[in-house]
Structure 1
Amino acid sequence: MKKTAKVPVEKVVKGLLVKHACPVPFHAVRTRFLGNIATPEMSVSPLQIIKDLWGGELPPFDSMDEFNTLLEALVQGLWNELTRHQKRSQPFRLTRTPLDATAANLGLYARIRLEELDGFLEGLFNGEEAVDLPERAHEAVGHLEELRAMMAGICDLVARDPKADDHTQLETTFKHLRELTRIMETEIHEAVLSCTRARRQRLEATPTAKPTIH
């Protein structure tokens, strides 16, 4: 009997986000989920997080099957797949965007990174103005906010001069962006690991109620 090839989670989720007109692009959904997985906030609700992708309410469905398909892809698929990055041996990677060195692509590259960083920080803070982060995660967030400001600056620069055509300079800038991407990935992963350790220690320190002997 011929086996049917399993469709990758990424392809399934991307298709469903488009089908249901999700305003958050897939690359930002990934990082938002990862931030939600890592957050020290103990009241994270995957269903509410999914609702937040559509501004707080789920999109309309023609049937319960459609709803269950979306929920399964986002929670059982993407969310569970991202939980592996809580291990040191499974570093997170941002979306790969092999692009030619043009001004338009430079703006696109920077915007994707900006949206990814926004997604991760939004997920990590889980709607709060501030969260009690462990030291290494707090340090990582500071670095990520600086990198976010740099990406926003590049987007603004390209918007002001969209036809910049100095190819050598663009090549150099793309090279720097790829180096900055590696730094982003390192800081995101360190934040996730730091929060995971802190949450585990907190759970281990919580006394469990012993049964009463009558």
Structure 2
Amino acid sequence: MKKATKGPSIKTAQALLAKHECPVPFHEVRTRFLGNIATPAISASPLQIIKDLWGGELPPFDSIEEVNELLDTLVQGLWNDLTRHQKRSQPFRLTRPSTEPTAVDLGQYGLVRLQELDGFIEGLFNGEDVIDLPERAHEAVDRLAEMRAMMAGICELVSHAPDADDAAKLGTTFSHLRELTRIMETEINEAVSSCTRARRQMIEGILTEKPTVH
């Protein structure tokens, strides 16, 4: 038996995105990709969502080798790695930022979560304003939208009091955020599982459809 070949590492993907000055932070890239992997939209493609990281077009390159390196790393590496989260046995986990009891870390934590949720929804909707989702995925999106509003509120609060370092109160807030993170992960994984199941059923229905006799 041949040993399975591993794709480019996460660190390689991060380094290349930084090299090509990707304006989207890596934690949001992950959730955009995951949402697009799960989306019911037939038009979804890894290449388009990669282009969208730079506003719709790939960044400038010095050679075709650089193009291939970026696409191989993001598709064969990061994208393919994220497809495993379509299985319930391998749930997706959000980034774990620093949680020191300071207002700066609280603001950063809220911003990371806000960007991750925005990324997932953007990938899931695939550029559309409205998309037909399975009922459980629709419920998950509604709950994620509520938690996104909470994260925006935290960012706004910290921006008005950046030096409010009451360790006890901040520690309690971080505890609540860790609990919210677990709920976010549950809802994201439910949305992914629900969409994956619906897509599989749709494909099975197409394959088993009998041809019309003329």
Common topology (TM > 0.5): yes
The secondary structure found in structure 2 opposite 1:206 is helix
The answer on 1:66 being equivalent to 2:75 is no
Cα distance change, pair 137–209 in 1 and its aligned pair in 2 (3 A)? closer
Distance 1:39 1:191 in 2: 9
- Number of positions where the alignment pairs a residue of Structure 1 with one of Structure 2: 207
Cα distance change, pair 140–210 in 1 and its aligned pair in 2 (3 A)? closer
Distance 1:90 1:154 in 2: 30
Provide TM-score, normalisation by structure 1: 0.93
The secondary structure found in structure 1 opposite 2:14 is helix
Task: Give, as a single letter, the amino acid of the residue that structure 1 aligns with 2:15.
Answer: G
The answer on 1:95 being equivalent to 2:95 is yes
Q: Percent identity?
A: 72
Structure 1's consecutive aligned runs of 4 or more residues displaced over 2 angstroms after TM superposition are 207-211
**Superposed CA RMSD:** 1.7
Task: Give, as a single letter, the amino acid of the residue that structure 2 aligns with 1:82.
Answer: L
Q: Which runs of 5+ in 2 are unaligned?
A: 1-5
- Map Cα deviations across residues 113-157 of structure 1 (whole Å, 9 max, x no partner): 000000000000000001000000000000000000000000000
Q: Which runs of 5+ in 1 are unaligned?
A: 1-5
Distance 2:8 2:174 in 1: 29
Cα distance change, pair 43–208 in 1 and its aligned pair in 2 (3 A)? farther
Checking the alignment, whether the CA contact within 8 Å between 2:51 and 2:58 is kept in structure 1 is: yes
By how many angstroms is 1:99 displaced? 2.5
Could you tell me which residue of structure 2 aligns to residue 84 of structure 1?
84
Distance 2:99 2:68 in 1: 36
Distance 1:158 1:50 in 2: 32
Provide TM-score, normalisation by structure 2: 0.93
The secondary structure found in structure 2 opposite 1:76 is helix
By how many angstroms is 1:98 displaced? 3.0
Cα distance change, pair 47–8 in 1 and its aligned pair in 2 (3 A)? closer
Cα distance change, pair 7–129 in 1 and its aligned pair in 2 (3 A)? closer
5 Å matches for 1:7-156? Answer: 9-156=9-156
Task: Give, as a single letter, the amino acid of the residue that structure 2 aligns with 1:97.
Answer: P
Cα distance change, pair 160–207 in 1 and its aligned pair in 2 (3 A)? same
Higher alpha-carbon deviation: 8-17 or 140-149: 8-17
Distance 1:201 1:209 in 2: 12
By how many angstroms is 1:207 displaced? 4.3
Could you tell me which residue of structure 2 aligns to residue 161 of structure 1?
161
Distance 2:67 2:119 in 1: 23
By how many angstroms is 1:97 displaced? 1.4
Distance 1:180 1:191 in 2: 16
